[in-house]
Amino acid sequence: MTVKLQLDGKSTKHLSTVTDAIVRAKKILFLSGAGISCSAGIPDFRSMNGLYNTPTSDRIKGKDLFDVSLFNNAATTAAFYQFMALLRTSTCDARPTPTHRFLRTLKDRGSLLRAYTQNIDGLEARVGLNLATLPLAKSDTVQLHGDIHKLKCFLCSETFEYNPSFQTMLSTGEAPDCPSCADKCAMRIAAGRRPVAIGTLRPDIVLYGEQHPAGDSIAEACAMDLKKRPDCLIIAGTTLKVPGFKKLVKDFAKSVHERNGLVIFVNLTELTSTEFSSTIDFHVHCGSDEFVDHLKSARPTFFTKQTTLDSALRSKKVVNPIPKIAAKKQPMTLKTERQSQESPTKKRCPARRTLSEQTLQSNIKLEEIEIKKPGFESTVQEISPDENKENLNPLKRCLSAVVADANGRRTRSWTPELC
């Protein structure tokens, strides 16, 4: 039976059970949904202000933009491309949340077995997690519903990163030609052979009604994780409505329970069914960022352990200010002027011992900027400062703009009235 917890001080005992389980766990599985990116400004799907409930034209509903049947119709196809181009721009502007950073903490501590996300925003990569490239089994994060930052050819299935020209075309509702198919066709023509068809590119996300192209690989990653006997399962920010995801939760929960581990659900709202009452041990009823804040205040050392710093030094471009080789080359008996002034006790290793959390944070920020550079071109649509003042949900603006175009209006109108 699921125990419901609040962060209001009334559930202290159970909350420490939850905290202890996370702190002690060595193989944590983290399964997430749209809720963990809401504080980054990316709306979820089914909440009152979510994408499915966004007021749109009568012709295209938010939900229809995620169903494969949209490709049956030229207007909905164009609207889908425009919507995805805008959604991508919006995710490029978003910043990872404390929950994403918590994932990084788990990774640095070596206690993240793997993250599985239904999200397509790729914010995990921006905190340094390794997003899926095949084989998925080797990645930190498996994106169950695809990646909004990639495009895929309808015909040859080759995937591509965005470039400014792809972004521009999609934002006007048109699909770019596949460069790979185009090259192949051009080579044939040059060789005097007949031309072959050239496919078009579409966002590489998984829509309702289509198979996941990496389904086998995902199954392989799951099987591998089950074999490793996970000892804690955290599920955050999801309504648990998608059948494949539900199965994943149940399979992982079974394995965690076999090791006497805990299954912890962190979500703002209640689940609408009792289907998971024997699967989920604790439902912490709060935002995922608040939960991370709670963990931070309850177990501060969990977030500042030396392992975190060591791992950051190993994997990131943290410049070690101490020239180790030069130091070794000094004859034992000779000391530089500076060394002579210092205490004779040898134990100074400023690079490792004094790397402050602040330094670490600034290094992570640098990394985000580096990652962001190549694929994150500026948007074609500009939002006026006045609109920003209105503090409108950016994706509501996106969807409304898409609908406006689907109705035949070719100009971008970002007025709040449209929402």
Considering only residues 239, 255, 363, 400, which one is a binding residue for ligand OAD as defined by CB under 6 A?
239
**96 lies in the binding site for ligand OAD (CB under 6 A):** no
Tallying the residues shown for the chain, one arrives at 419
Q: How far is the CB of 205 from ligand OAD (least distance, A)?
A: 7
Considering only residues 2, 17, 47, 168, which one is a binding residue for ligand OAD as defined by CB under 6 A?
47
Considering only residues 5, 22, 35, 173, which one is a binding residue for ligand OAD as defined by CB under 6 A?
35
Cβ contacts of residue 300 below 8 Å, gap of 6+?
none
Residues 189-218 touching ligand OAD, rule: CB under 6 A, are: 206, 208
Residues 378-407 touching ligand OAD, rule: CB under 6 A, are: none
Considering only residues 2, 7, 41, 46, which one is a binding residue for ligand OAD as defined by CB under 6 A?
46
Coil, strand, or helix at residue 374? helix
Catalytic residue among 100, 145, 149, 283: 145
Other Cβ atoms closer than 10 A to 50:
19
**145 lies in the binding site for ligand OAD (CB under 6 A):** yes
Rounded CA separation 36/158 (Å): 30
The three-point CA angle 220-223-225 to 5° equals 110
Rounded CA separation 101/108 (Å): 10
Task: Draw the binding track, 288-317, toward ligand OAD (x: CB under 6 A; -: no contact).
Answer: x-----------------------------
Rounded CA separation 292/98 (Å): 7
Q: Nearer to ligand OAD by C-beta: 236 or 398? A: 236
Q: Nearer to ligand OAD by C-beta: 37 or 111? A: 37
Considering only residues 30, 45, 252, 302, which one is a binding residue for ligand OAD as defined by CB under 6 A?
45
Q: Which of 310, 404, 354, 259 is nearest to 107 (CA)?
A: 310
298 membership: H or E segment, kind and range: helix 288-298
Considering only residues 11, 89, 105, 118, which one is a binding residue for ligand OAD as defined by CB under 6 A?
118
Burial class (CB in 10 A: 0-12, 13-18, 19+), 346: exposed
**246 lies in the binding site for ligand OAD (CB under 6 A):** no
Cβ contacts of residue 365 below 8 Å, gap of 6+?
none
**50 lies in the binding site for ligand OAD (CB under 6 A):** yes
Contact stretch for ligand OAD (CB under 6 A) within 11-19, 82-90, 125-133, 235-243: 235-243
76, 232, 251, 341 from 337: Cα distances, Å: 74, 54, 64, 7
**7 lies in the binding site for ligand OAD (CB under 6 A):** no
Residues 141 and 377: beta-carbon distance below 8 Å: no
Considering only residues 238, 255, 363, 400, which one is a binding residue for ligand OAD as defined by CB under 6 A?
238
1, 9, 284, 286, 298 from 12: Cα distances, Å: 19, 6, 12, 14, 10
**34 lies in the binding site for ligand OAD (CB under 6 A):** yes
**372 lies in the binding site for ligand OAD (CB under 6 A):** no
Q: How far is the CB of 43 from ligand OAD (least distance, A)?
A: 8
Rg (CA), the chain: 25
Q: Nearer to ligand OAD by C-beta: 127 or 266? A: 266
Q: How far is the CB of 278 from ligand OAD (least distance, A)?
A: 20
Contact stretch for ligand OAD (CB under 6 A) within 9-17, 37-45, 216-224, 377-385: 37-45
- Tell me whether residue 145 is one of the annotated catalytic residues: yes
264 membership: H or E segment, kind and range: strand 262-267
Question: How many residues sit in the footprint of ligand OAD (CB under 6 A)?
Answer: 27
Rounded CA separation 259/46 (Å): 34
Coil, strand, or helix at residue 30? strand
Q: How far is the CB of 299 from ligand OAD (least distance, A)?
A: 20
Q: Nearer to ligand OAD by C-beta: 261 or 287? A: 287
Q: Nearer to ligand OAD by C-beta: 243 or 321? A: 243
Q: Which residues are registered as beta bridge partners of 161?
A: 150
**44 lies in the binding site for ligand OAD (CB under 6 A):** yes
**Burial code of 211-244, b = ≥16 C-beta within 10 A, e = fewer?**
eeebeebbeebbeebbeeebbbbbbbbbbbebee
**269 lies in the binding site for ligand OAD (CB under 6 A):** yes
Q: Which residues are catalytic, by number?
A: 145
Task: Enumerate binding residues for ligand OAD (CB under 6 A).
Answer: 33-35, 38-39, 44-47, 50, 66, 118, 145, 206, 208, 236-239, 241-242, 266-269, 287-288
